[in-house]
Amino acid sequence: MLNSKEINKFKLVPGRIRRRREANHVAEKPRQNDTTASRLVRFFLTSTLLLLGNMGSLAADSPSGTDLVVGSIQIESRDIFSQQEAHQAPILLRAMRQGMNGLHVNTRRWVITQELLFAEGDPFVPEALAETERNLRSLGFLNEIQVTAIDTTDQGRVNILVSARESWSLNSAVAYTLASGGNQRWSLSLSDRNVLGYGFTMGAGLGADKISSFKNVWFRKRRVLGSRMLVGGHFGQPVYGHSHVVTVSRPFYALDDTWGLECLAWDSLSHSRYFLSNASTLGSDPTQEASLYADLPADRTGIEFSFRFRLGGSGPVTATELEADPPVDRNGSRIWRLGAGARILKIAYRTGDQTSWLLSDGRWADLSSLLDPGQPLTRTQGTEVFPYLHLGTRGRHWAQGRFVNNYGSIEDISLAWLMDLKLGPNGQAIGSNTAAGGSSYRAELGLIRFLRLGGGFLRLQGAGLAQTGAKENRMYHYNVMTGWTRATGSDRVPWLTRIHAEYGQGENLAPNKVFLLGLDRGIRTLEFDGMAGDRLARWNAEQGLVLPWTPLGLFKSGAAVFYSGGCAWWNDEDRDLGDARHEVGMGLRFGPTRSSRAQTTRLDLTWNLDDFSAGPVLTSVTRGTF
């Protein structure tokens, strides 16, 4: 049941409504429980409307027993910096803030309106306000969002204020990273997540990664032409080859949406790292720590389509149910989505007649043995057909936090399990020819949940893949991660404690499923892909302090000291967890507060405890959880 604090989140009294700012529930338009027949009718009707080009959302049923309806809706969009913030700043900073306000085009009113989960005249559902806030935050170009019931008339009409502050959505990014062995990466990009206030994302960039230089462009648009459809694309041009990805989908914009679909198509030709065990016939030393690989040209083409519909279940708590005695509590209720999909993937390694390739340790080796039956290259090369049953579930219990995933911005934390499962056949009987075996079945699973623990948030996350069948087909891959984050002290300059750990294991892994450990993934004193294998363990403990300064009024800053450890290895190598690398470091943390780019930047000096005399390694990383 709701406790007294939760009951009083919404005070409904004649003439006004007061809403407290601590909503922890998912908000939805309610709908009555549908019969199976009515759901089928709605499904076929919606499909017909889609084919005819009508992408409008399906109206939710009105709840019974509530006498409050949505009245007027006010939308208030504020500049990046208020006039007071601009005028009180020093002259140069004032000019910068005024310039940012002047150059930035505020979000169009209709862009915000189309994300609302309620309209004038709809039954008033308090939880719809909280979920609308989450939807608006997920856009990435609005901050300080408040969706508030501000007044109720004598006629039972609830007036609502939607308030948001604009973010600087034009981002220019320059990144440079020098690894301990001298390898370097750099990139330069310019993007806008809210082009001219239309909610349209567009960007372009160039740079050099671990294999070659590249250039790319990308775009993304929600609700194309006022519909429920999302369209996106990414087009890259490495020195050798190309990379094209196109997405067309109809997302679940709300938990109680009736149906959703997604279609993804890709085509790429590029050098891909094919990792090998140091204990294999191609290795030179089974005790060697450094990863062993060859860069092979790979052609990947594929398409994936999935369609799911909501199975039903309890809707959100209405205003009347919230005021009932005892009040209705649906924190534990779940939303289930069931559907089907298919993935067709073709992989071809363009080795031609060449058999000798340069390995990462400087040796030339004959790789023709990788084409023998049962070898990884044979298992992955060819066409894979995977039709699947697609099942997902979401919960309605949410909380708000800070410094959990990002650095300073408000985050929406799900306190219920999120699960996604794909299950189906992928053997020769349905067209696959990637292995010599007969029938085969495949399962892919993802799980994540946050829990309140010890004054902070505990993160539980896992992903797995398993494939059955003949020996040539069998493989598995899984990794689990847990982390605990806690902020203590004052709200302005809290101490941040972060403890994380991850373990992964697999067998007969495809090249893109190999576990990698390096600069970009947890160990700063390694190369980018410093260790590789079918086993992985890593951990990190960090104590940080949020600093009271906000550079240029744009970034939340902090300082931290940390210890990290980890190892990746092949099961047949003469290595194990006892050969883990250990390191200590200190650094700065930056998180944007007025920008649409929410990634945390980590600038660190790190010492390898196994070779402390080598001196510190300077790294700048903007990816990964830890």
Q: What are the tens digits of pLDDT across the range 11-59?
A: 343 333 333 333 333 333 333 344 444 444 444 444 443 433 333 333 3
With cut-offs at 50, 70 and 90, classify the pLDDT of residue 356: confident
pLDDT of residue 459: 96
- Would you state the torsion angle of the CA atoms of residues 248, 253, 258, 262, taken in this order, to the nearest 10 degrees? 20
Antiparallel, parallel or unpaired: β 418-425 and 475-488: unpaired
Residue written as token pair 């009113």: 109
Among 520, 514, 427, 425, smallest CA distance to 470 is for 427
**Spatial separation of the C-alpha atoms in residues 80 and 90, rounded to whole Å:** 17
Instruction: Please name every residue paired with 294 in a beta bridge, in sequence order, or none if there are none.
Output: 274, 359
User: Residue 175: which pLDDT band, with cuts at 50, 70 and 90?
Assistant: low
Please tell me the predicted confidence (pLDDT) of residue 369.
81
Looking at residue 382, its pLDDT comes to 87
What is the arithmetic mean of pLDDT over 368-379?
A: 75
Does residue 70 or residue 64 have the better pLDDT? 70
User: CA-to-CA distance for 618 and 607, rounded, in angstroms?
Assistant: 9
Under the banding of pLDDT at 50, 70 and 90, the label for residue 63 is very low
290 backbone φψ class: left, alpha, beta (φ>0; ψ -120 to 50):
beta
Q: What is the rounded distance in angstroms from the CA atom of residue 504 to the CA atom of residue 101?
A: 47
DSSP secondary structure of 530-554: -EEESEEEEEEEEEEEE-S--GGGT
Q: How far are the Cα atoms of 82, 141, 261, 472, 594 from residue 102, in angstroms, in the given order?
A: 12, 16, 39, 62, 15
**Residue 258 carries which DSSP code?**
S
Of 272, 319, 288, nearest to 568 by C-alpha is 288
Place of tokens 């790979």: 298
Which pLDDT value is given to residue 44? 44
> What pLDDT does residue 180 have?
58
If you average pLDDT over every residue of the chain, what do you get?
83
Q: Which two tokens stand for residue 612?
A: 């402390």
Q: What is the pLDDT of residue 176?
A: 66
Assign 188 a pLDDT band (cuts: 50, 70, 90).
Answer: confident
Note the pLDDT tens digit of each residue in 504-539.
999 988 877 899 998 777 888 988 888 999 999 999
pLDDT in tens, 103-147: 899 999 999 999 999 999 999 988 899 999 999 998 888 988 999
Span of 7-21, 318-332, 372-386 with lowest mean pLDDT? 7-21
What is the structure's pLDDT at 313? 65
Q: Is pLDDT at 265 greater than 90 in this prediction? A: yes
Interstrand relation of 157-166 and 69-78 (parallel, antiparallel or unpaired):
parallel
| pLDDT score recorded for residue 164 | 94
Mean predicted confidence (pLDDT) in 313-338: 74
- Domain 4-166 CATH (choose: 3.40.50.300, 3.30.530.20, 3.20.10.10, 3.10.20.310): 3.10.20.310
Q: How confident is the model at residue 208 (pLDDT cuts 50, 70, 90)?
A: confident
Domain ranges, ordered by start, for the chain = 4-166, 170-621
Note the pLDDT of residue 580.
95
CATH annotation of 170-621: 2.40.160.50
The model's confidence at residue 314, banded by pLDDT at 50, 70 and 90, is: low
Instruction: Check residues 268 and 6 and name the one with the higher pLDDT.
Output: 268
Choice between 445 and 325, residue whose per-residue pLDDT is larger? 445
Share of the chain above pLDDT 70, in %: 84
Q: Is the pLDDT of residue 502 over 70?
A: yes
Q: Report d(CA 382, CA 380) in Å as an integer.
A: 6
Between 239 and 181, the higher pLDDT residue:
239
What CA–CA distance (Å, rounded) separates 123 from 147?
16
- Both tokens assigned to 260: 């959703």
Per-residue pLDDT tens over the stretch 413-454: 999 999 999 999 988 888 888 765 567 899 999 999 999 999
